[in-house]
Amino acid sequence: MDVKRSPSRKRRWLKRAPALLLFVTVVALTAMAFAVLDRPPAVDGERIWTGPAERGEMLHEVSASGRLVAPRIRAVTNRNAGVVEEVLVLPGDRVDADDTLVVMSSPQLEEELTQARWDLAAAEAEEAVEEVEAENRQLDIIAQLASAEAEYTGALMELQAQQELSEAQVYSAIELERQRLRVEQLKKRLEAEQARFDRSPRFRAAKESATEARLSRQRDQVAHLESLVEQLQVRAGTAGVIQEVNITEGEQLSAGALVARIVDPSHLIAQLSVPEREAADILPGFPVTLELGQTKISGEVARIDPVAADRSITVDVALTDENLPTLRPDQSISGRIELDRLDDVVHIPRPSSLREENQSATLFVVEDDVARRVTVEIGRLSATRAEVRSGLAPGEQVILADMSDYEDREVVRIE
């Protein structure tokens, strides 16, 4: 007969081992999950950058971007209507004052010039005829004066002779009186001819002045039309660089149309667009550092536009360097306007998250492989620096990258 035997303790443990192992595994995983959840989040050290807090002088600056402009611009216009035959320049070309920019044509103007020249030639021919006629009239006046003088002299001599013979009763009293009257008439005629002769130079001068005035007006008209025809070749009028050309070949232009604009590249200024809220403290004369690639140029604020456009204020900056590099209008440029210098303050490189002055900001201070969140009171902001009023000590390293995703974390790890 079979006897029932109780299982040994070892076999009982072997049966319970899988369940026990599963329980331990669950407990370990749960503990690991809580540990992972409580572990500070990590940031990639290669994607952040840091900077130290320092004590000392800080430049309070405003940064802005803009472009170089030429304030001296000449607008070239045509003096008379016509058709554009040829455009000889393009934007960017350098020109001198006598260089031709555009060649135009005007048949109507050329026809008017031809007619004016014919009218002038006819007037000059008429003047020559009048000059000959005036000389003939002068000779007639001289001849008539001489004739009157001869007749008067002869009659006077005859009267004197008759008076001498009247005593011998050769001539009667009536004949003597008749001769005396004749002498008086010839004397009056001689006086009239003499007066005409005396006035003839003034009359001739007045005639010549009237003729010369008429000829001068016609010559001026011809010269004016010749000038307009000459100006069909539109010239620059000043040395500089062509900024823009406003016409095309074959275009019909009216008088006074804008042909081109010429800028003087030797006199340039920088126009910076400063945010309206940052432009309140800027005054004329403030020093400016302009940056054109790796080149730095000194300048000073020359003018501040009183009207804002797109929430920005335009600030004109005069270039003060004596030896300027080669520059061109419309070249992009950036600048930093110095407002003042802050002595003996704590400051840090400006974090990317800071936009306004006088605010409380959350920053992370680096301690070995972790960074702890601190609240920092920020004062004035510069282009590259930020004043720290409290919350940081000189020498502490601060993460400057945007850490807004970790604002609710006290500590982050740096990997």
Residue 192, CB-side half-sphere exposure with 13 Å CA sphere: 10
Q: CA distances (Å), 106 to each of 119, 233, 245, 293, in order?
A: 20, 11, 21, 50
Alpha helices, H only, 97-236: 107-165, 173-230
Contact 279, 301 (CB under 8 A): no
**What is residue 170's three-state secondary structure?**
coil
Query: Distance (Å, rounded) from C-alpha 175 to C-alpha 165?
Result: 12
Contact 47, 415 (CB under 8 A): no
- pTM for the structure as a whole: 0.55
Q: CA distances (Å), 415 to each of 369, 402, 410, in order?
A: 7, 17, 17
C-beta atoms surrounding 274 within 10 Å:
24
Q: What is the pLDDT along the chain (415 residues), one digit of tens a residue?
A: 445 555 555 555 555 666 666 666 666 555 454 444 456 677 777 778 888 988 988 888 888 999 998 888 888 998 888 899 999 999 888 899 899 999 988 888 888 888 888 988 888 888 777 777 777 777 877 887 788 778 778 777 877 776 766 665 555 677 777 777 887 887 788 778 777 777 877 877 777 778 788 888 888 888 888 888 888 888 988 888 888 898 888 888 888 899 999 988 878 899 999 988 888 888 899 999 999 888 889 999 999 998 888 889 999 999 988 888 877 778 899 999 988 888 888 988 888 778 788 888 888 888 878 888 888 898 888 878 888 988 888 888 888 888 877 877 888 888 7
CB-neighbour burial class of residue 44 (10 A; exposed 0-12, middle 13-18, buried 19+): exposed
CB-neighbour burial class of residue 183 (10 A; exposed 0-12, middle 13-18, buried 19+): buried
